[in-house]
Amino acid sequence: MGEAIIAGATSKGITAPVAIAVSEPIADRRDFLSKTYGVQVFESGGEAVADADLVVLAVKPQEFAKAGKELAGRLHGDQTVLSIMAGVTMDTICSTVQHAAIVRAIPNTPAQIGEGITVWTASKEVSGPARMSIRELLGVLGPEIYVADEKYVDMATAVSSSGPAYVFLVIEAIIDAAVHIGLRRDMAVPMVLQTVLGSARYAQATGLHPAELRNQVTSPGGTTTEGLLALEQAGLRAAFIEAIEAAYHKARDLGG
């Protein structure tokens, strides 16, 4: 996701590659980032953040304790820290890096092609101009939604951040079902992908409630009715509720 931010920011002219400094402990990875994007690369986080206006924490939550300690005492008042880590709260980030201007954002994987969505919030110490810069940066990943309460970021972690995995699982299951009834896989894949893509775009274009859109497809006594009945009997709705609830609790657990 950090690489997606670099790619989006440089390709859309938000910043020049030479203005980006990346901390990466793996030498081969540093070489790749330098050659591919023309960014500055450093082995330690302390070196990378020295002259930065914005410090982006793009590490796994489990790696933050070590990465955060590298930054403690190295940040000055004009800098803003942007975290895209799941679960790790602003209070934890603040106390670890010893800095108060914190933005917490949760993007998702479609951001890698500019089709993601990011939910974010900011501490009161983040200035107005810094918030505008954050909004512009996150916009390269797709639409962004600001929330005033941090609790919604954890909820977004379970819904929009984990959500692509749920969608991919559904796509995989429908493709396998299509093959099961006799469709060739090379036919089933584009049929299912376009069905999912077209349905999402149709929902966006109409703005109608999903139940109303579903009713448009469902004729009394028809084939769709039988299919939906089977899904309801299998507990599809309850399974999604349980999945999102489990992901939400895990996000809270990661934050301590």
CATH superfamily of 163-254: ProC C-terminal domain-like (1.10.3730.10)
pLDDT in tens, 12-25: 999 999 999 999 98
- Whether 114 and 212 have beta carbons less than 8 Å apart is answered as no
CA angle 63, 66, 67 (to 5 degrees): 80
Q: What is the pLDDT of residue 256?
A: 67
**Residue 168 pLDDT greater than 90, yes or no:** yes
In the chain, domain spans: 2-149, 163-254
CATH superfamily of 2-149: NAD(P)-binding Rossmann-like Domain (3.40.50.720)
**Residue 255 pLDDT greater than 80, yes or no:** no
**CA of 235: how far to CAs of 38, 173, 211, 239, in Å?**
50, 15, 17, 6
Mean pLDDT, the chain, rounded, equals 94
pLDDT in tens, 129-138: 999 999 999 9
**CA of 20: how far to CAs of 7, 98, 103, 154, in Å?**
11, 22, 18, 28
**Residue 162 pLDDT greater than 80, yes or no:** yes
* Percent of the chain residues past pLDDT 90, beyond the cut: 86
Q: What is the pLDDT of residue 44?
A: 85
Nearest to 58 by CA among 13, 9, 131: 9
SS3 helix, strand, coil % of the chain, rounded to 5? 60, 10, 30
